[in-house]
Amino acid sequence: MYVDELVGRDTVNTLPPATIEACADHCNVSDRLETGIKEAYNLMDSLKNPDININLDQVMVEVLDEGIDKFIQPFQSLMESMEEKVKQLAPA
């Protein structure tokens, strides 16, 4: 959902495998990071409007936490798989 908008020159974006697969299926990759900057700032400022009242700092914390969680489970699965392989290959 957000990957297309984050692709740009000299950037790094780590993605969970499912997101990479989804992007490979339907992303339209191009350099967009430097387009619409003024509009983006205006949009972010509008979130402070009392009728909208979105706390962008809180949203960023939640998105970061969710993103980290998406890496924890695959990492734990990888480590468990590697431990099992070590046990299988270790001499008895």
Q: Taking the model in full, what pTM does it have?
A: 0.51
d(CA 21, CA 24): 5
C-alpha 23, offset from chain centre: 12
Rg of the chain (C-alpha set):
20
Q: What is the pLDDT of residues 34-88, one digit of tens each?
A: 888 999 999 999 999 999 999 999 999 999 999 898 889 889 999 999 999 999 9
Which residue carries 């590697």 as its tokens?
Answer: 82
Say if residue 9's pLDDT is above 80: no
